[in-house]
Structure 1
Amino acid sequence: MTDEIKLIQSKLVLLETEVSDLRQGYIIINRRYTNALTTLKELTGHASESAKRSANAAIKAADAARNASTAATEAAALSVLKAADAAADAAASAAESAIEAAAAAAAASAAAAASVAEQAEESCLIASAQAAEATKIATEAAAEAVKLSNLATDVARSARIKNSLS
């Protein structure tokens, strides 16, 4: 009977050791999981902030395209063709910048959405929604910049044609 008790005790010691090892493993995994979630939450916030900044850049590029388009129109009206062409080129460059900013906003928004897919935490959902809204704003600004660039190019082209007919 004492051999059986010793066997049972040794099995209990093994089970206690196993439970202790499992507990330690759980603590380590839980700590890593918590750290990963915290990092994911921070990255989502950074992605949202990046999308907002990209939207602001797109808006500023659209403003630059608007100003360049106005300059092209005024230069064309005064038959200053080189200035009209330069302003049209500036409008095109601003439109390209707006497109790049919109693309950056879309990439940041996608990153935020991906983190929400991993962890549907409210702060991540809010950040992702803000990133999506920023992407919408950036895209609208880029579209406006392209229209203004096209207008500036058309005005400069018309002024050149009008000047060559004169």
Structure 2
Amino acid sequence: MTQSLEHVYKKLEAMQVDLEDLRNTYKGVSKRYMVALTSLNTLTIHSSDAAKRAAKSTEQSRVAAMNAMIAAREASGNPALLMVVESAVTASVAAALAAVESAAAAAAAAAAASAAVAHQAEESLLKASNEAAVASRMAAEAAAEAVKLSNQAREIVDGIHKKS
């Protein structure tokens, strides 16, 4: 009987050691999980911020393309200002290209935010990802408008060249 109790105590002692090992492992995993979650949260917030900034940049490029197109249209009535018109068209094209690049950056940032959310669906991450997606959509719309304005400016120059 004493021998079997001794055997039970040894088993209990081994189980206690195993349980302590499991606790320590859990603590380590939990700590690493919290670090990863914090990093993921930070990445999502930064991605969302980058998408919003890219959308603002795209909007500014759209405004630049619009102003360049207006300058080309206003100067198109005077053949002596052909160089001004062509410079305005060049500026409009550059603004449209900048808008497209900014829109692509916004889309990439929104994708990064969405990927982060896919790994850890937390309310703050979902909100940041949604904001990034909205910013990306706005950037794409502004880029499309900038390209349209650039094309209008190009048509003005083409019309001047046909008259000449």
TM-score, normalisation: structure 2:
0.96
Across the two proteins, how many residue pairs are aligned to each other? 163
Q: Which residue of 2 aligns with 1:7?
A: 7
Q: Which residue of 1 aligns with 2:73?
A: 73
Mapped pair 1:156 → 2:157: yes
Mapped pair 1:92 → 2:129: no
1:63-103 Cα deviation digits (max 9, x unpaired): 11011111111221112111111110110010000001001
1:39-83 Cα deviation digits (max 9, x unpaired): 111111111000000000000000110111111112211121111
Identity %: 47
Counterpart residue identity of residue 90, structure 2: D
Counterpart residue identity of residue 121, structure 2: A
SS in 2 for 1:77: coil
Q: Which residue of 2 aligns with 1:63?
A: 63
CA distance in 1, matches of 2:59, 2:26: 49
Note the residue ranges of structure 2 that are not aligned, 5 or more in a row: none
Note the residue ranges of structure 1 that are not aligned, 5 or more in a row: none
Q: Which residue of 1 aligns with 2:129?
A: 128
TM-score, normalisation: structure 1:
0.95
CA distance in 1, matches of 2:57, 2:124: 25
Q: Which residue of 1 aligns with 2:47?
A: 47
The runs of 4+ residues in structure 1 deviating greater than 3 Å are none
Counterpart residue identity of residue 148, structure 1: L
**Structure 1 contact 81–160 (Cα < 8 Å) conserved:** no
CA distance in 2, matches of 1:11, 1:59: 71
Q: CA RMSD in A?
A: 1.0
CA distance in 2, matches of 1:156, 1:81: 8
